[in-house]
Amino acid sequence: MKETTNYLRKKILVLGLAKSGVTAASLLHKLGAFVTVNDMKPLSENPEAQGLLEQGIKVVCGSHPIELLDEGFELIVKNPGIPYRNPLIKGAIEKGIPVITEVELAYQVSKAPFVGITGTNGKTTTTTLIFDMLEAGGKRPLIAGNIGTVASGVAEKAEEDDNIVIELSSFQLMGIDKFKPEIAIVTNIYDAHLDYHSSKQEYIDAKAAITANQTKSDYFIYNADQEETRQMAAETLAELVPFSTITKHENGAYIEAEAIYFRGEKIVDLSAIVLPGQHNQENILAAVAAAKLKGTSNEAIQAVLATFHGVQHRLQYVTAINERRFYNDSKATNILAASKALSAFSEPVILLAGGLDRGNEFDELKPYLGHVKAVITFGETAEKIERVAREAGITIIKRVDNVEKAVPEAFGISAEGDCILLSPACASWDQYKSFEVRGDMFVEAVHKLK
């Protein structure tokens, strides 16, 4: 850990626990700060807060009392999930108290450089690919952020020769000050999280923060096929590294003659890549660019791409049974994600879809249903999805109670060569605690068929 006196004897409020808050509070305590932790969950039901109390850290649980702002805090470290409209956060900003997320704390104590990945879709796949490529190439990666260990916990133990590969949300990036990754990646930008952000522009600005502090010695890898990311590239000081599935960019990653190239060098044939889908080609291009900038060999990259079947719950290949292939895309909680999943296949698809009703219709799915031979629905949106399926000319439409029952139903009407795809196009909360639980239920039901 890098020596720092930035927090010595400072009064700091850590707002919201979960894993990131616990780790940040403990680290700040070690750095000599006077730490107070505030969490909504009552102390009697809060083992994390109890553990911090045993370390000698002040704990306030059960509510977010606005009176805390009268205690003279010099800094607030906020859980990313707490919105800025929270009265404590609004009050702190009005008083001029800086508000950061623990990603900023991680940066300030880390000896290792960061490879930061953000975007609307593809973050997790890209992050995992980069980690695997760097690991195969002997580049000592550590994974952190939304899919790994808490960033400040990783940074505390990282050495100079390590590389911290971190997935970053817009929520985290809104709370940075000096955070500067050596390599920043923006996969794409679509409408998302507008229940948290006040506008799409605020969301875009939050994503763009990943490159805001970069200098000419850093790299900005961006999707050259999108206007929003091209605008970010126009404003950064970092060296630009575009990627595109459409256009050849001599200074970036691109596709030519059925192969992936980086800066004029052929890296791998598309036929050697097992991960399906054009959207995943974008993720692979971004990952290849980062890996090559870090000096990873083509052989290491090829080895990863020959075996990488996807991240859990994100177009994850599960298994094949009697020449039917099963894919778990439970993370497809919106129409855009489900559309991309459907576009990844040319084979006949049996689609399993449905879930929480957010009030929207599903007509935007129609153009992607041409090769769908059957639809199995479940959850609150079953009727809406069935209407769209009928209008798309699909004749086999069945409704079941849940994902577990959808799997044998789909298998029963499938034929050799079919893909059975869970890509719900909806959130899971009407029936399942999370999309992960829903995906796990799908995988378990598939294995029961064996």
Domain with CATH 3.90.190.20 in the chain: 316-449
Q: Is 359 left (phi over 0), alpha (psi -120 to 50) or beta?
A: left
Q: With beta carbons less than 8 A apart as the criterion, state whether 339 and 424 touch.
A: no
Q: Residue 163: which residues within 8 A CB-CB, separation 6 or more?
A: 112, 113, 114, 115, 134, 139, 140, 141, 142, 294
Q: Where are the alpha helices (DSSP H) in 248-394?
A: 278-293, 298-305, 335-343, 382-391
Over residues 159-167, mean pLDDT? 97
Is residue 177 pLDDT above 90, yes or no? yes
Give residues with Cβ within 8 angstroms of 385, minimum separation 6: 353, 354, 362, 365, 375, 377, 425
Q: Residue 88: pLDDT above 90?
A: yes
**Phi–psi pair at 130, nearest 5 degrees:** -60, -45
Pairing of strands 141-145, 75-78: unpaired
Query: What CA–CA distance (Å, rounded) separates 171 from 206?
Result: 8
pLDDT of residue 295: 98
Number of CB atoms found within 10 A of residue 359's CB: 6
Count H helices and E strands in the chain, helices first. Answer: 15, 20
Q: How crowded is the C-beta side of 35, counted as CA atoms within 13 Å?
A: 29
Amino acid at 158: A
| CB neighbour list of residue 66: distance below 8 Å, 6 or more residues apart | 87, 88, 91
Strand order across the 253-256 sheet: 141-145, 163-167, 114-118, 183-186, 219-223, 239-244, 253-256, 259-262, 265-269
Whether 23 has a binding-site annotation, put simply, is no
Which CATH number applies to 11-100? 3.40.50.720
Q: What pLDDT does 191 receive?
A: 61
State pLDDT tens for residues 32-58. Answer: 999 999 999 999 999 999 999 999 999
Residues composing the chain = 450
Q: Is 122 annotated as a binding residue?
A: yes
The tens digit of pLDDT for each residue in 337-352 reads: 899 899 989 899 999 9
Closest residue by Cα to residue 422 from 316, 347, 324, 281: 316
Contact of 130 with 290, CB cutoff 8 Å: yes
Q: Which of the two residues, 202 and 308, has the higher pLDDT score? A: 308
Residue 124 marked as a ligand binder: yes
For residue 355, is it left (φ>0), alpha (ψ between -120 and 50) or beta? left
What whole-number distance in Å separates Cα of residue 366 and Cα of residue 381? 16
Q: Find tokens 């009064």 and name the residue.
A: 11
Indicate if the pLDDT at residue 146 is higher than 80.
no
Cβ neighbour number for residue 55 with a 10 Å cutoff: 12
Structure-token pair, residue 121:
């879709």
Give Dmax over CA atoms of the chain in angstroms.
69
Residue 123, marked binder:
yes
Q: Where in the chain is the domain with CATH 3.40.1190.10?
A: 104-305
Kindly give, in sequence order, each residue whose CB lies less than 8 Å from that of residue 335, ignoring residues fewer than 6 positions away.
Answer: 360, 362, 364, 365, 425
Can you give the pLDDT at residue 194? 53
pLDDT value at residue 196:
53
Helix (H) or strand (E) holding 256: strand 253-256
Percent of the chain residues topping a pLDDT of 70: 98
DSSP conformation class of 72: -
Residue with tokens 């895309």: 329
Helix ranges restricted to H, 370-432: 382-391, 403-412
pLDDT tens digits along 106-127:
999 999 999 999 998 889 899 9
The answer for residues whose C-beta is within 8 angstroms of residue 212's C-beta and 6 or more apart is: 236
96 in a known ligand binding site: no
CA 378 – CA 95 distance, rounded (Å)? 49
- For residue 83, pLDDT beyond 80: yes
Q: Which of 26, 1, 14 is nearest to 154 (CA)?
A: 1
pLDDT tens per residue, range 210-224: 999 999 999 999 999
Compute the radius of gyration of the chain from its Cα atoms.
23
pTM for the structure as a whole: 0.81
How many Cβ atoms sit within 10 Å of the Cβ of residue 97?
Answer: 17
Q: How far apart are CA 198 and CA 130, in angstroms?
A: 32
- Class (C level, CATH) for 316-449: alpha beta
- Is the confidence at residue 195, as pLDDT, over 60? no
State the Cα angle at 185 between 184 and 188, rounded to 5°: 150
Superfamily designation of domain 104-305: Mur-like, catalytic domain (3.40.1190.10)
Please tell me the distance from the alpha carbon of residue 21 to that of residue 79, in angstroms, as a whole number: 6
User: Which string of b and e fits 368-393 if b means at least 16 CB within 10 Å?
Assistant: bbeebbbbbbbbbbbebbbebbeebe
Region class of 415: left (phi > 0), else alpha (psi between -120 and 50), else beta: beta
Determine which helix (DSSP H) or strand (DSSP E) holds 214, and give its type and residue range: none
